[in-house]
Amino acid sequence: MAEILDAAWSLARSNGLLSFSLRDLATKVGMQAPSLYQYFASKDDIYDAMFRQGAVECLAEVGVDAAAPDRREAFRQSARRMFDFATSDPVRAQLLFQRTIPGFEPSAESYAPAVEMVEGMRALVAAHGITDPDAMDLWTAMIGGLVAQQLSNDPGGSRWARLVDRTVDMFLAEMDPDHDEAPQRKGQTR
């Protein structure tokens, strides 16, 4: 079952998330297509398992410790981790964030880790005294925007990766202009 999932990821990465077939998938794990139905009820059920797996990975890799002392560093770290997670596997990002598969909707259980991620970000924002009600929406738009540009216009490169820290600084300056001591910039350290 884990083997089937691994093979599904592999095929999705080479053939495309929508284009891989159950026949190919079965062949890859040394089965015939109908045998897959012992493990998954449908192709969408496979997508759901993949989604869940990706969401769990996201939670594990991107989790932020809201207790970090330095605010700027905490937000930069959160942004970088999310950016790196999303851009390191375009197919996974397409499944988790782009949601372009015709009939598929993730089940509530599979979606749960994503909800937890949002809660984590909300906690980070609150822990550092940011009260702006639009903070979360601005944050998701900015980080998601960087990710999308990187994936579609410079896959594998760093054209937008270079701008992550700078974008975080813009965000913090906007949230709380008074407490924002001048960041050291030009020359993101990555």
Partner DNA sequence: GTCTATATTTGGATAGAC
Partner DNA sequence: GTCTATCCAAATATAGAC
Stretch 64-93 residues interacting with its own copies (CB under 8 A): none
Q: How far is CA 64 from CA 29, 75, 116, 123, in A?
A: 36, 9, 12, 9
> Does 99 interact with its own copies (rule: CB under 8 A)?
yes
Contacts of 168 (CB under 8 A, 6+ apart): 72, 75, 76, 79
Binding mask 11-50 for DNA (x = CB under 7 A): --------xxxxxx-x---xxxxxx-xx---xxx------
16 binds, among its own copies, DNA, none (CB under 5 to 8 A by kind): its own copies
Residue from 21, 100, 107, 184 in contact with its own copies (CB under 8 A): 100
Give the span between the Cα atoms of 47 and 53, in whole angstroms: 10
Nearer to its own copies among residue 81 and residue 162 (C-beta): 162
Phi then psi for residue 28, to 5 deg, are -60, -30
33 binds, among DNA, its own copies, none (CB under 5 to 8 A by kind): DNA
CA angle, 73 then 79 then 80, to 5°: 85
Residue from 29, 59, 66, 148 in contact with its own copies (CB under 8 A): 148
Residue 160: other Cβ atoms inside 10 A: 19
Quick one: which of 17, 102, 38 has its CA closest to 4? 38
Report yes or no: 15 and 8 within 8 Å, Cβ to Cβ: no
Residue from 68, 166, 176, 180 in contact with its own copies (CB under 8 A): 166
Q: Given the rule CB under 8 A, which residues bind its own copies?
A: 16, 18-19, 94, 98-100, 102, 134, 137-138, 140-146, 148-149, 152, 159-160, 162-163, 166-167, 170-171, 173-174
Q: Given the rule CB under 7 A, which residues bind DNA?
A: 19-24, 26, 30-35, 37-38, 42-44
